Structure 1
């Protein structure tokens, strides 16, 4: 992650941009990939880029995208969005966790895991990013910051192997 992306992400937070606005912008760029190409292309005049931004975005977010285009930094948008979300979560006492699972957990299991994480990390809520990985064989892993909790079958097998080899 570049320092520039960190600076832009923090600037978005200072501007008071809401997470919903960022999610809507991400959806727009995902659904209309030509928009990103137009706004990031160096040969498209800035006046045309501003006109497109005015049609699609408004307010602080629109102005922010104009700055990104002017500085030719739109290519860092995904990193900027990630930094913004991390900063938002930190400011609002929300723990960002990546859960990797072999099989998707049931809703009640997920709620139990979130309750555990809130107690363990003294936070108000959990922002769970989920990803499936069949190589875990069973169970799941949780990663947040520098902490990892491994409740996967693969992890348990590796722990057992290490104990047996260590004897």
Structure 2
């Protein structure tokens, strides 16, 4: 069977291109993220897998659950996914859509793992440094991790910068072994 990303990418691209052409990137982002959350609910997962339910029944289920958050085009998109048997891919579609959106907006979210709370000033320094390095707008997601002892680990896409005390100690231990 094909990889989920491979199957989801054309749908995410189509949704993105439509949203971009209509100037509704944020609205589609909200819709897709909402239905992705619904599609990840354990009960919904089981219903979407149920062979006894037709694609129309599955679409009706998703449309009922997402009624308040979906516009007409969003409803059509859910119906299309259902007809193609792709409703279980909604979380992957939403994730790929967000990648397209971030690329279009030249923005990125950086996860900062730190042992201690960062002040606003420290956060602004990190944002400025990452913005300069990545040439993109940067938003931070701060995660407290007491195992780090001190310092930070920065993750954004494929880039990982380990400035943690734990990482530095591990590098020192490795160099002493040689």
Relative to the length of structure 1, the TM-score reads 0.79
SS of the equivalent of 1:151 reads strand
Query: In 2 relative to 1, CA 101–19 (structure 1 residues): closer, same or farther, beyond 3 Å?
Result: farther
**Matched residue, 1:63:** 76
Q: CA deviation at 1:133?
A: 3.0
- Asked if the contact 2:112/2:154 (under 8 Å) is kept, the reply is yes
Number of paired residues? 165
CA distance in 2, matches of 1:130, 1:9: 28
Instruction: Identify the residue that residue 15 of structure 1 maps to in structure 2.
Output: 18
Contact map agreement 2:48 2:87 (CA 8 A) in 1: yes
d(CA) in 2 for partners of 1:135, 1:81: 32
2: CA distance, partners of 1:42 / 1:146: 38
- Which position in structure 1 is the counterpart of 2:7? 4
Confirm or deny that 1:158 pairs with 2:173: no
SS in 1 for 2:113: strand
Gaps of 5+ in 2: none
Find out whether 1:98 has 2:133 as its counterpart.
Answer: no
SS in 1 for 2:118: coil
3-state SS, counterpart of residue 44 of structure 1: coil
Asked if the contact 2:148–2:165 (Cα under 8 Å) also holds between the matched residues in 1, the reply is yes
Counterpart-to-counterpart distance in 1, 2:37 and 2:108: 26
What is the RMSD computed on CA atoms of the aligned residues?
2.8
- Is 1:40–1:69's contact at 8 Å kept on the other side of the alignment? no
For 1:117-166, what per-residue CA distance to the aligned partner results, in whole angstroms no more than 9, with x for missing partners?
1111112x114344343322222211223322111111111122233333
CA distance in 2, matches of 1:27, 1:132: 26
2:52 is paired with a residue of what secondary structure? coil
- What is the TM-score normalised by the length of structure 2? 0.75
Q: 1:43 aligns with which of 49, 52, 55?
A: 52
